[in-house]
Amino acid sequence: MSVVRVRVMHSETGAPLEVLLVEDNPGDARLAAEALAATSIGTFVLTHVERLAEALELLQQRSFDAVLLDLSLPDSGGLDTVKRVLEQAPDMPVVVLTMLSDEMLGVQAVNAGAQDYLQKGSCVQELLARSVRYAVERQRLLRELQRARQQEQLARSASEIAAIERLSHDARTSVTAQLYSATPLREAQPDLFAELVAQYGQILDQRLEQRAYKIDINTSDPLREIAYQLGFLRAGPRDVVDVHTQAIRQRVRNASVIRTQAYVEEGRLLVLELMGYLVSYYRNYALGGAH
């Protein structure tokens, strides 16, 4: 691999931006380096490679602040070039370089995930530097927005779990429990409670697997079996919520934001289904229904 690093600096202070230039034309590469060296709006450290394979190898080894990417390389061309770079470094701001006749390709590249595009024949010094800087800034703002949304989602998920937990301790929700058992199952039968939590957690994992991979898994029968075990133990709604909350808490403890959200969303449906099976059990076996 042939890698050329050029430090293009000026008197302005500030941390330099590390830019990876992927360009096989020596003349275009020289013009890009000169444009970044002559600008007055920032400091750049330019690393130049001529092939996409070299760029992907570098991106695997280290990070850059931005990529200047030619879409006509010896080993790759068109939108596939952008997609392969973003697959390797999905958070990397990419500015694509196109020929004057390929403006539509530049627009398509932006739609595919690039931050900006420039036509080589119309690139002026300040425009190239500004495009790189703006791409870096936009990507930073997008990351901050994504982090804020993730934090908001985590807070909502935690709030929902806490609300369900409070519900389980509210005596007004324990009608069936008051009829059949005054002591919560988690206290009266801790070993059996832990076993039910484990079974329920496995079903929850299967539901997520079914949701992610679109596969058919029979979770209704084992969930109905848990309901029958709860009914035999004279459990009530409070105990159902306790089982649900404990299983959810165990699984979201070290989970990602996306997986936490999935557990909470799928759990809403699962706990209602379990509650319905428990009601059916009491109707059929405990409250004088058909046997």
Sequence ranges of the domains in the chain? 4-143, 171-289
Domains 4-143 and 171-289 alike in fold: no
- Are the C-beta atoms of residues 48 and 11 closer than 8 Å to each other? no
Nearest to 52 by CA among 27, 72, 25: 72
- Strands (DSSP E) contained in 24-108 are 44-49, 66-70, 72-73, 76-77, 94-98
CA distance 252 to 4: 46
Q: CA Rg, the chain, in Å?
A: 29
- Are the C-beta atoms of residues 49 and 2 closer than 8 Å to each other? yes
Q: Would you state the pLDDT for residue 10?
A: 46
Average pLDDT over residues 233-239: 85
- SS3 of the chain: helix, strand, coil, percent, to 5: 65, 10, 25
Q: How confident is the model at residue 223 (pLDDT cuts 50, 70, 90)?
A: very high
Which stretch of 195-199, 202-206, 232-236 has the lowest confidence by average pLDDT? 232-236
Average pLDDT over residues 13-24: 84
Average pLDDT over residues 261-284: 88
CA distance 103 to 84: 20
Q: Is the predicted pLDDT of residue 202 greater than 90, yes or no?
A: yes
Q: Would you state the pLDDT for residue 171?
A: 45
pLDDT digits (tens, 9 = 90+) for 44-99: 889 999 999 999 999 999 989 999 999 989 999 889 999 999 999 988 899 999 88
pLDDT digits (tens, 9 = 90+) for 140-159: 877 776 676 667 666 666 66
CA distance 118 to 100: 9
Q: Would you state the pLDDT for residue 64?
A: 92
- Are the C-beta atoms of residues 47 and 75 closer than 8 Å to each other? no
Q: Is the predicted pLDDT of residue 6 greater than 70, yes or no?
A: no
- Count of all residues that appear for the chain in the document: 291
Nearest to 88 by CA among 69, 110, 116: 69
Q: How confident is the model at residue 290 (pLDDT cuts 50, 70, 90)?
A: very low
Percent of the chain with pLDDT over 90: 31
- CATH class of domain segment(s) 171-289: mainly alpha
Q: Which two tokens stand for residue 206?
A: 């299967």
Q: Is the predicted pLDDT of residue 212 greater than 60, yes or no?
A: yes
pLDDT digits (tens, 9 = 90+) for 31-49: 888 888 877 777 888 999 9
- 3-class SS of residue 29: helix
Nearest to 96 by CA among 126, 135, 63: 135
- CATH class of domain segment(s) 4-143: alpha beta
Q: How confident is the model at residue 160 (pLDDT cuts 50, 70, 90)?
A: low
Q: Which two tokens stand for residue 169?
A: 């301790």
Average pLDDT over residues 193-201: 94
CA distance 210 to 215: 5
- 3-class SS of residue 164: helix
Q: Would you state the pLDDT for residue 262?
A: 87
pLDDT digits (tens, 9 = 90+) for 247-256: 998 998 888 8
Q: Is the predicted pLDDT of residue 169 greater than 90, yes or no?
A: no
Q: Would you state the pLDDT for residue 16?
A: 85
Q: Which two tokens stand for residue 291?
A: 């046997």
